[in-house]
Amino acid sequence: MKTDDDFKGEGPSVSNEHLLVREILHRINNDLASVIALISLSAARSTSDEVKGALHGVVSLLQEYGSLQRANALVDVPSYLRVLCQAIRRTRLQQRGIELVFAEHPFQMGAEKCWKFGLILSELIMNSARHAFHQRGGRIQVELTSSGLLAQCSVVDNGSSQGPYSPGKGLAIVDELTRSLNGRIVHRFGAEGAMSVLTFPVNNGTFLDERS
């Protein structure tokens, strides 16, 4: 079993990490508000009813994402992540010829934890898109499973890494968010693809090592 004390020797204190995560979430909320305002203004200026409808749909989706972290209700995790993956595929991957496949196992968890999970998944997908394919198409596969106590998500791509890999700010944020979920994440990078595996407890509490 991994407790908060175990994390203290691995970097900044847990208290500092939680403050950092809250700051990240605060900034993302501000960014969401700015994007929503910009899209709403574009919708108001458009003379096309089809464009207006599409933009209003995007605004509604962003508002739902922003409200998730403040809700206390349980969220159907696969449904939430399926919509997230569809949005990423359409806006960031499709034009580059990158296929995104989502395999799921049904389970629920708290809204704030689900929202953080979504942030991690989004960054992992975009990290693959940025570094793995080098101006060519490819495939990213996301697989989500749950044993009841633990949730596990793997992100695998069939790209290749050119030269030594140096983790950037995106993965640093992923690490901090993973700590806030009392979880762990493992990255493997190679010439034939990369894999990241995130594991964390579905309910609040300390990380449960599968060997215990």
Region 55-77: mean pLDDT is: 69
Residue 156 covered by a domain: yes
Q: How many residues does the chain have?
A: 212
Domain at 157, CATH number? 3.30.565.10
Do the domain assignments include residue 79?
yes
Quote the CA–CA distance of 65 and 80 in Å, as a whole number: 9
Across the range 129-133, mean pLDDT stands at 86
pLDDT band at 8 (very low <50, low <70, confident <90, very high): very low
> Is position 106 within any domain?
yes
Residue at 209 is within a domain: no
Q: What is the average per-residue pLDDT within 95-105?
A: 93
Residue 132 DSSP symbol: S
Give the amino acid at 101: V
Report the pLDDT value the prediction gives residue 70, as an integer from 0 to 100.
55
Cα distances (angstroms) measured from residue 134 to each of 81, 127, 149, 192: 26, 12, 38, 13
Residue 148 lies in a domain: yes
Range of the domain at 85: 4-201
Number of structural domains the chain divides into: 1
d(C-alpha 196, C-alpha 178), whole Å: 12
What is the full DSSP assignment across 154-201?
A: EEEE-----S-----HHHHHHHHHHHHTT-EEEEEEETTEEEEEEEEE
pLDDT score, position 100: 96
In a domain, 207, yes or no: no
pLDDT at 5: 44
Count of CB atoms situated within 10 Å of the CB of 63? 13
Q: What is the pLDDT of residues 144-203, one digit of tens each?
A: 999 889 999 999 999 876 544 555 677 888 898 999 999 999 999 887 889 999 999 998
Q: Name every residue whose Cβ is closer than 8 Å to that of residue 118 and which is 6 or more positions away in sequence.
A: 65, 68, 80, 81, 84
Instruction: Report if residue 65 sits inside a domain.
Output: yes
* Phi, psi angles (nearest 5°) of residue 201: -70, 140
The predicted-structure confidence for 9-56, as pLDDT tens digits, reads as follows: 444 444 555 566 566 666 666 666 667 777 777 778 788 887 777 777
How confident is the model at residue 15, as a pLDDT?
53
CB 181 within 8 A of CB 117: yes
